[in-house]
Amino acid sequence: MKYDIQGGNLPVVICTLEAGEKIITEGGGMTWMSPNMQMETTGGGIGKMFGRAFSGESIFQNIYTAKGKEGMIALASSFPGSIKAFEISPDKPMILQKSAFLASEQGVELSVHFKKNFGAGLFGGEGFIMQKVSGNGLCFVEFDGHVVEYDLEAGEQMVIDTGNLAAMTATCTMEIQSVPGLKNKFLGGEGLFNTVVTGPGHIWLQTLPASGMASVLSKYIATGN
């Protein structure tokens, strides 16, 4: 598969497939394509369907196949930000924010990923439920806003506002921690919980989570101002 990511902060990835080659996308992911791209919708079993729904994705996925000759399909991001391509292998799975998965080659497996602290996670909002991509192949991921990357050494930590963790290598561990102090919790304006990621590994942080933008806009919509 060949691909070209265009569009700046309103990105689209244009994929060129050889005859017989396949690409898996989330429902509604296709933006335009050549007429020889054949679509098949699949659920992949009850367990996988439930896991995708729980992680914020569509229950069904679409498999596009280039029929007879080379084919082309374009997949656009659903929010201003960026699209990045990752090579997934059995020894290099990745953990993604909810709804980050855009498309992949057929050998990539998408599943739900929970943080360990289930009790805190129930109140931690976005970031408690994430996605895991494993298997083997190319995976396209969409991030919200600008992305900043860090390498964490073994034991090194980063405290992240919930929703701003876009992705991390599976070698990292994460947990939800309560913001200390009642005054900080309820008057600080930073929410009740933070995500703490511990290395070793690589992390991708996003500056404008879609949920954060929706929360700000909802205030203006509710007041009419």
Give the angle subtended at the CA of 172 by the CAs of 167 and 178, to the nearest 5°: 85
Burial 59-97 (b: 16+ CB within 10 A, else e): eebbebbbeeeebbbbbbbebbbbbbbbebeeeebbbbb
Report the Cα 157 to chain-centroid distance in Å: 21
What amino acid occupies position 3?
Y
CA distance 88 to 169: 10
Print pLDDT tens along the chain (225 aa). Answer: 999 999 999 999 999 999 999 999 987 889 999 999 999 998 654 445 445 554 455 567 899 999 999 999 999 998 999 999 999 999 999 999 888 999 999 999 988 876 655 444 444 445 467 889 999 999 999 999 999 999 999 999 999 987 899 999 999 998 877 765 444 444 444 556 788 999 999 999 999 887 666 655 565 565 555
Burial 168-198 (b: 16+ CB within 10 A, else e): bbebbbbbbeebeeeeeeeeeeeebbbbebb
Whether pTM > 0.85 for this model: the answer is no
CATH classification (class only), 2-220 = alpha beta
